[in-house]
Amino acid sequence: MNLSERIAHGLSWTLAARIFTQGFQFAFGLALARLLTPSDFGAIGMLFVITGFALAFSDAGLGSALIYDQAASDAHFSTVFWLQLAAGATLTAAFFFTASLIGSFFEIPVLEPLSRFIAFTFVIQALGQTHSAMLSKQLRFRQLAIVNIISTIASGAVATALAWRGYGVWALAWQGLLAPAITTALLWLQSKWRPRFVFDSRAAVDLGRYGLYLLGHTSINYWLRNGDKLLIGKLVGAYDLGIYTRAYTLMLLPLNNIGAVLGQVMFPALSQLQNDLPRFKRSYLSALQAIALVMFPLMIGVSALCEPLVIFLLGPQWKEVTPILQILSLVGLVQSIIFPVGWVFTALGKTKEQFHLSIILAFVFVAAVGVGVIFGIKGVAYAYAMWTLLSSWLNLRLAGSFINLPTVEVLKAVAKILLMSAVMGAIVFALDRGLLEGLSNTTRITCGAAIGIATYLGLCTLTKDTTFVRLSRFVSTRFA
């Protein structure tokens, strides 16, 4: 198969896996939301904010460096494996022995034993990171799809069973530990590669130049995505954090799905085009339009049907999620065409420039959220939205400079899709607040979604949108 066919094949498997995993994950999430309390999610959310950041250090950007480096040898892979394992073991020890500090910081005693339990995630995940990078570099997405599906179902089922038996927040902790454990075991089964007792210092330096800047960006970007939650947890409380986290999670659900599907395939594929910038630009812009075609109407639709959607999915006790989700869903619309700029930075080896931009944005983020938190979780949501607009413009401008793609060209490429989505959203919102208001939440969601889909597909067909035609052909070819 040529590169285009391998990309299509990879997208097919990754998309199918994402549909299955997110379907099960969404179902498990709804079950857990009904079995557990906002405080349970808030408590584990505080812990996962910290551990999620630390997980980036066990990889140190070296997995991406292996994918980027087209000349990486077996010595490179073995060297990275031992570096990642050492980092994972160090983090496990650090979190295990400093667990009391985490509990004291948040003033929630249960976080101390939870921290010691979750600490083993670091070394477990480190054991499989190099295998995952190798499978991605080889575009072996069928194997990765199988791993993701099995680990999601198994960990989610155990967590739901534990929550039903009354284990409370510990059900979420077990889910957080089992998912990487099962993933690592399956990666070793799927990949025939085994690390050798080799450590090449020159390979470590070569990959480190790329990986350290990427690690710096990843670390900063992590706090840009999670620092608001840390401040809410510390200054406002676990209950409000639980509300904000559920809204943020619902917003990220479609964004992460689309991003994970395309990113998993496009980064290694674009890395192979790093010496052919015109083709690189065409492939990147085409993917950007495809993302907008799906994400724009989806995020606007969520905002229009937010009230019945929240109550139907989470229950009436989560009604306070509604105004936060309405704000964040529009933030997700903007972010949907921003996350792909990461492919440009990593595939072209521009991680240093990406890191420097992250530093600038971090200062702005701290100032914005610091002001927003004064006004509660809604203030944080508005602050996050304003920061997202600035971040989007700067990222598009910098990434575009590397591939001769001005920001205005990106906006023109998605303007028609945005207009069609806005028209659809206005119709759905008007009907929901007019004819459908007062009916059951199920009826409002069903009718609103049906009207929205019919309206959007009709607009795409009538205007003969080229992105819609191209994506329709791809879907019919791969899944018909």
Closest to 344 in 3D by CA, of 394, 274, 418, 392: 274
| Of 35-49, 255-269, 295-309, 414-428, the least confident | 255-269
Computed on alpha carbons and rounded to an integer, the radius of gyration of the chain in Å comes to 22
Mean pLDDT of the chain: 81
Residues 417 and 293 sit within 8 Å (Cβ to Cβ): yes
Does residue 285 sit in the same domain as residue 194?
A: no
DSSP structure class, residue 336:
T
Question: How many domains in the chain?
Answer: 2
Q: How many CB atoms lie within 10 A of CB 293?
A: 23
Is residue 316 included in any domain, yes or no? yes
Does residue 401 sit in the same domain as residue 474?
A: yes
Does residue 222 sit in the same domain as residue 106?
A: no
Residues 330 and 429 sit within 8 Å (Cβ to Cβ): no
Does residue 108 sit in the same domain as residue 257?
A: no
Q: How confident is the model at residue 351 (pLDDT cuts 50, 70, 90)?
A: confident
**Model-level pTM?**
0.67
CA torsion 74-80-86-89 (nearest 10°) is -100
199 φ/ψ angles, rounded to the nearest 5 degrees:
-135, 110
Does residue 393 sit in the same domain as residue 478?
A: yes
Report whether pLDDT(325) > 90: no
Does residue 367 sit in the same domain as residue 257?
A: yes
Is residue 77 included in any domain, yes or no? yes
Is residue 376 included in any domain, yes or no? yes
Does residue 219 sit in the same domain as residue 195?
A: no
Q: How confident is the model at residue 226 (pLDDT cuts 50, 70, 90)?
A: low
Q: How confident is the model at residue 381 (pLDDT cuts 50, 70, 90)?
A: confident
The single-letter code of the amino acid at 188 is W
Is residue 54 included in any domain, yes or no? yes
Which one of 169, 199, 229 terminates a domain? 199
Determine the pLDDT at residue 478.
54
| Of 188-202, 216-230, 238-252, 282-296, the least confident | 216-230
Greatest mean pLDDT among 185-194, 204-213, 215-224, 446-455: 446-455
Does residue 151 sit in the same domain as residue 232?
A: no
Determine the pLDDT at residue 418.
93
451 φ/ψ angles, rounded to the nearest 5 degrees:
-65, -40
CA pair distance 58, 90, nearest whole angstrom? 9
CA pair distance 55, 123, nearest whole angstrom? 9
Report whether pLDDT(283) > 60: yes
Does residue 194 sit in the same domain as residue 337?
A: no
Which one of 145, 176, 199 terminates a domain? 199
Is residue 204 included in any domain, yes or no? no
Does residue 57 sit in the same domain as residue 186?
A: yes
Residues 109 and 231 sit within 8 Å (Cβ to Cβ): no
Is residue 205 included in any domain, yes or no? no
Is residue 125 included in any domain, yes or no? yes
What percent of the chain is modeled with pLDDT above 70? 86
| Of 7-11, 284-288, 293-297, 443-447, the least confident | 7-11
Is residue 207 included in any domain, yes or no? no
Q: How confident is the model at residue 64 (pLDDT cuts 50, 70, 90)?
A: confident
Domain that holds residue 145: 1-199
Does residue 363 sit in the same domain as residue 435?
A: yes
In angstroms, the first-to-last Cα distance of the chain is 20
Which one of 175, 199, 223 terminates a domain? 199
Does residue 243 sit in the same domain as residue 374?
A: yes
pLDDT in tens, 204-223: 777 776 777 777 777 777 66
pLDDT in tens, 412-435: 999 999 999 999 999 998 988 878
CA pair distance 103, 109, nearest whole angstrom? 5
